[in-house]
Amino acid sequence: MEKKVIIIGGGLSGLIAGSYLRMNGYETEVFEMHSLPGGLCTSWQKKGYTIDGCIHWLVGSGPSDNFYNLWNELIDLTKLSFVNHEVYHHVEDAEGKMIRIFCNIDRLEAELLDKAPEDARLIRTLCRAVRKLSRYNFPNDKATGEMNLADGLKFLTRTIPCLGIMRKYIHMTASEYALQYKNPILQKAFEHMFVPEMSVLFLFFTLAWMNKGSAGYPVGGSLAFARLFEEKYLQLGGLIHYSSKVKRIIYSPYEESIVASGIELENGEIHSSDIVISAADGYSTIWEMLEGKFLDRKVVSVYHDFKLFPSYLQVSLGIKGKLDVPNHCMLLPLEKPVMIDPETETGQLQVLVHHFDPTLAPEGSTLVTSLIPTYYAEYWTQLKKNEPEAYNFEKQRVAGILIRLLEKRFGIRQEHIEMTDVSSPATVIRYTNNRNGSFEGWLLHPNTGFRRISKTLAGLNNFYMIGQWVEPGGGLPSCLMSGRNVTRIICKKDGRKFRNRVYRLTGT
């Protein structure tokens, strides 16, 4: 009889693990609290618009990166249409001076040297590093722990040329890096392209993935992308239960040890299995579903030392007519700094104009979104719970900040706006249960560097964790690696050869 695996969470990690496990002959059931697949990788509909809530770029969208082959084990990337932007980011100051972050490294170098000659030395060092990283591919076929001496040597030989870059920049935040520049627009660009507190190495790698044309956006948006993984999983014979929130992971004594043996849903239903995998939020898995019973020093130190990606408000506007903009993604200054919530002040907004995906807006209209980071999720959840009117008022106030900016910069008037939508950290938590509404789990941070997180818990057998809470840096490639690697580990334990596709039986 096939071994049965229960997977908690139908985000990308859960669906991907489910698919690989099915390819390897395991019976699988996914339990997802929401009514949809995808978790954070999602989109939603409002007044004829599809508001996209996730993918800006997908590492491995093109064959120049070895993630491309892994994605193709699950979905046929050649059937998707990817947009590779010419300019990733456009940063302006109050006088209208602007610098463009081109995806192609030669064009980026020319632009930066032209606009900020005072920073020529740093610009040249950056571009040299990005060119080098563009030739680097993360080893991603085997799980850590499975690698033998030959794999280790291959990895080392491949990594040595980039080791100096990795060592230097993993220990520097984007803010610290930005401050080295004299040009104030470049400072802003590097500080706010991602998260200021994040290790700047991530920025270098992202520029490299863009340079080699392997960080495209899939037309159709994030939920359509997630649906492809749901479809694959179901085709492989996996089961998925929506609107099924897991309350507790059940464990029982077996021989000399304790093994995970199933789950209890919030509605009291019990489901048994041989193995349990949690692809859900790490904190709630360890401290709520397992009641903090399987803690050791390592786990506690991760939850103490690691920093989270922030949460965010997403303001989305549907605008009648085609908004004429110089570039699709712009960092625009506000007239003066504004408070987003009692702990978050900002002097600029990122404005994303989605013309590059015509499926998201009605013909002739424009979808504009702005992601505004905040670490103060608690404020938004408490406001929603205790003062729903004030919560709605605050969301509209934040939308007003974006509207006034678009009025001033592009002459948009209130009557042009036919759709307004604001999601807050409370929305992220309600739909995904992610700790503090974090949008990508653990930040790649100078203090924690490349430190790894264990996928198992001390004293609990037949239990694994996958997804962004055990893969610092998060992101969709982590979901892929995590789901694939856990399957490799389970197969190895069961003495099976890992299979990355379904093999036809002779004669069938």
- Positions that interact with ligand FAD (CB under 6 A): 8-14, 31-34, 39-41, 53-57, 245-246, 279-281, 284, 371, 432-434, 439-440, 467-468, 474-476, 479
* Closer by beta carbon to ligand FAD, 181 or else 309: 309
* Closer by beta carbon to ligand FAD, 327 or else 468: 468
Number of H helices, E strands in the chain: 15, 20
| Residue 148 C-beta: closest distance to ligand FAD, Å | 28
Tell me which H or E stretch contains 410.
helix 388-410
Q: Are strands 87-92 and 329-341 parallel, antiparallel or unpaired?
A: parallel
Q: Are strands 4-8 and 275-278 parallel, antiparallel or unpaired?
A: parallel
* Closer by beta carbon to ligand FAD, 24 or else 468: 468
How many alpha carbons lie under 13 Å from residue 410 in its C-beta half-sphere? 21
* Closer by beta carbon to ligand FAD, 22 or else 34: 34
Q: Which candidate, 343, 339, 340, 365, places its Cα nearest to that of 354?
A: 365
| Residue 358 C-beta: closest distance to ligand FAD, Å | 19
| Residue 409 C-beta: closest distance to ligand FAD, Å | 23
Strands annotated E in 297-374: 311-320, 329-341, 344-353, 365-374
Q: Nearest 5 degrees, angle CA 258-CA 262-CA 265? A: 135
* Closer by beta carbon to ligand FAD, 3 or else 56: 56
Cβ atoms of 7 and 14 closer than 8 Å: yes
Round to whole Å and give the CA distance between 9 and 96: 46
| Residue 437 C-beta: closest distance to ligand FAD, Å | 9
Cα-only R_g, the chain: 23
| Residue 174 C-beta: closest distance to ligand FAD, Å | 16
| Residue 112 C-beta: closest distance to ligand FAD, Å | 23
Cβ atoms of 44 and 427 closer than 8 Å: no
| Residue 281 C-beta: closest distance to ligand FAD, Å | 5
| Residue 36 C-beta: closest distance to ligand FAD, Å | 8
How many alpha carbons lie under 13 Å from residue 380 in its C-beta half-sphere? 28
Q: Are strands 311-320 and 463-465 parallel, antiparallel or unpaired?
A: unpaired
Tell me which H or E stretch contains 244.
none
* Closer by beta carbon to ligand FAD, 187 or else 485: 485
* Closer by beta carbon to ligand FAD, 105 or else 480: 480
Count of C-beta atoms within a 10 Å radius of residue 218: 20
* Closer by beta carbon to ligand FAD, 273 or else 433: 433
